[in-house]
Structure 1
Amino acid sequence: MDRSVPLVEIWRGELLESLHRGHAVVCDGRGDIVASWGDPETVIYPRSSAKMIQALPLLSSGAADRYGLNTEQLALACASHNGAAIHTDRVSAWLDQLGLGESDFRCGPQEPADIPARNGLILAGEEPCQIHNNCSGKHCGFLTLAQYMGAGPEYVEIDHPVQQAALAAFEETTGESSPGYGIDGCSAPNFATTVHGLARSMAWFATASTRSDQQSQGAIRLVEAMMKHPDLVAGEGRACTSLMRAMGGRVAIKTGAEAVFIAILPEQQLGVALKITDGATRASECAIAAILVGLGVLEVDHPATRSYLNAPILSRRGLDAGVIRATEALTRGF
């Protein structure tokens, strides 16, 4: 039975033109639900919203320190980047540091979302490569860990030590045994969990400073890197980047394909996870902005916020045609 609830409305004139349903959870450091909408026990793929979990073994193993990884590289390990030069130049340098090349990736080529980068490839008559893949930073992290472990080159296989380490971190932080996995767009396994489990994991990251174990210390470093380098986590024109900038380095947020979004709030020691059931990114961006406003960490009238929450819909001539807004059910949940 579908227990999703309406979270985001699209109005055009006086008519409710579209409605996006979903599930969302705010979780505290004990794993308890502070607020929820829909069914917290709905099983989802977190997609790229879980990249900081996949990056945990890179730090807890000692690989990040062994290779002297900096905060930019840690942010890229958690990124779904635009493929702009600020991303691809750093990924290329990371591969060089490992003594590896583009052919060692297993993520596949992808056309960059960054328009100047895309136009540059077209003008040069070149095809996009795996370095342009939005997950190439994560795959640099996988390659670093594989090299540190002395493991084989097929690091995206489910039985590879890198992916088994990622699964162990995933189940530890979500507090749940994953019921299975799917293959993500970058060819790596993506482990399923409940919306509550994903929020619990984000709360685990948010409360990492209260613990002294090596895994938690790695979590602190990953979250700090994301908040320090929002431009590397996504890129210009992206919700992750613009909203993290608007919150002044106090909160880390991350999108995932098919309308998943998470937030890590270290000051409040809270974690957030949401999933829009129809997979619409415009709705997940609006919903996460509404939740962050409700939690008091994002200003409702900040220009970045207004790009996603209560965002005007304009005609191609710039006429006011409608609005994208959160439902009353979502905003009154605080």
Structure 2
Amino acid sequence: MESVLVKEYRAGIMECAHHGHISIVNDQGEVTGSAGDPHFVTFTRSAAKPLQAICAIRGGIVSHYGLSEKEIAIMTASHMAEQEHVEVLESIMKKTGLSEAELVCAPSYPLNEESKEDVLRHDGSKRRLYHNCSGKHLGVLAYCKMKGYPLEGYAEPGHPVQKEIIETVSLMCGIKAEQIDLGTDGCGFPVFALPLSAMAAAYVKLACPDLINDEAVREAVQIITRAMNRYPEMVGGSGRIDSLILQDTNIVAKGGFKGVYCFGLKQERLGIAFKVLDGSEEEWGWIVESILEQIGYSNQTLIQQLKESFSHDILNDAGKKVGHADTVFQLQTVQP
């Protein structure tokens, strides 16, 4: 049964209640904490991007194309097409010889409002490069080109690169590939239906790659997560929680559309995954803040930054406080 995670109040009256599930997994893959159902099955959405990047990095695209750490980081991103994002994406295309037309993700406007307004003031054209998943697509296409895989159909489940990806996701999550149900993500890629506990288990391994027996995968994870921590602005963008908490080098984190969020803690050797059932993302900052406080996380500076960046005050269109939000869940200790 789901747990109430967040309640929102206006004029002292509860207006909204956001239900969901939280799963906390240790470095043995055991659930040690939860709210709601720690094994609730949902789609990974973009929280899978660091996992989807592993095949290309393991395969050697970094040295083959001379990629920078910023270029690696944006392959895990749900970027906002801010100017620096676009510059890095264009650099990848130049190094790899890929064209924007080869991307299957839809032409889009930037998610960043300032960047979108700048586009509209100029030519007003949507671009596939502006799509928040374009870095992931370029990374996979670059790998296909290097391996001699066909570029056409690279997003289809039966394509060789997608078969490699699902095997890697299987390895990281500890679930057999044939047991992972697939859907289609917004960008056209296969998306994985997994228990939250399996997502959390994968994020333990992202945070603690010594848990990965496969040496090539382990080295790829180290390259990917180092890039994410060194260039957190590439992973999200202005005002995004990913870019804030990745500044803490003890954390590996990535959110996905429709309310799914995952992060791993290196020193604590924990993976955490949660799902807001109504698909909302506005509550992520509050939920992460509460989880960190409840487990006694030592970086109080980060917790304070979360409080300041994701205020519990509810404001109206003119910026006046008209209500507040409270996180109301209590993590339950689970005996492995």
TM-score, normalized by length of structure 2?
0.92
How many Å apart are 1:65 and its aligned residue?
2.8
Tell me, what secondary structure is at the counterpart of 1:191? strand
Is the deviation greater in 6-15 or in 160-169? 6-15
Matching residue of 2:240:
238
Matching residue of 2:273:
273
Q: Indicate yes or no: 2:49 matched with 1:48.
A: no
Structure 2: distance between partners of 1:176 and 1:49 = 17
Query: In structure 1, what residue type is equivalent to 2:180?
Result: P
Structure 2: distance between partners of 1:143 and 1:261 = 26
Matches of residues 50-199 of structure 1 in structure 2 within 5 Å?
50-153=48-151, 154-177=153-176, 178-199=179-200
Tell me, what secondary structure is at the counterpart of 2:53? helix
Structure 1: distance between partners of 2:319 and 2:99 = 46
Alpha carbons of 1:38 and 1:55: their partners in 2 closer, same or farther (altered >3 Å)? same
Superposed CA RMSD: 1.9
Contact 1:81 1:134 in 2 (8 A): yes
Tell me, what secondary structure is at the counterpart of 2:283? helix
Alpha carbons of 1:211 and 1:181: their partners in 2 closer, same or farther (altered >3 Å)? closer
Query: In structure 2, what residue type is equivalent to 1:95?
Result: M
How many Å apart are 1:147 and its aligned residue?
1.0
Matching residue of 1:329:
330
How many Å apart are 1:97 and its aligned residue?
0.7
Structure 1: distance between partners of 2:23 and 2:316 = 34
Contact 2:61 2:142 in 1 (8 A): yes
Structure 2: distance between partners of 1:223 and 1:209 = 13
Contact 1:274 1:284 in 2 (8 A): no
Structure 2: distance between partners of 1:311 and 1:17 = 14
Structure 2: distance between partners of 1:316 and 1:133 = 28
Tell me, what secondary structure is at the counterpart of 1:302? helix
Matches of residues 24-39 of structure 1 in structure 2 within 5 Å?
24-39=22-37
Structure 1 runs (4+) deviating above 4 angstroms are none
TM-score, normalized by length of structure 1?
0.92
Structure 2: distance between partners of 1:47 and 1:211 = 23
Contact 2:80 2:132 in 1 (8 A): yes
Unaligned runs of 5+ in 2: none
How many Å apart are 1:67 and its aligned residue?
2.2
Post-superposition Cα deviations, 1:177-230, rounded to whole Å, max 9, x if no partner, equal 343111111101011111111001111112203556110111111111111111
Q: Indicate yes or no: 2:285 matched with 1:285.
A: yes
Identical amino acids, percent of aligned pairs = 26
Alpha carbons of 1:44 and 1:328: their partners in 2 closer, same or farther (altered >3 Å)? closer
Post-superposition Cα deviations, 1:18-59, rounded to whole Å, max 9, x if no partner, equal 111111111111101121111122211010011001011112
Is the deviation greater in 103-112 or in 209-218? 209-218
- Picking from 199, 206, 218, the partner of 2:220 is 218
Contact 2:66 2:95 in 1 (8 A): no
Contact 1:29 1:206 in 2 (8 A): no
Matching residue of 2:261:
261
Structure 2: distance between partners of 1:279 and 1:74 = 28
Contact 1:6 1:329 in 2 (8 A): no
The number of residues matched between the two structures is 328
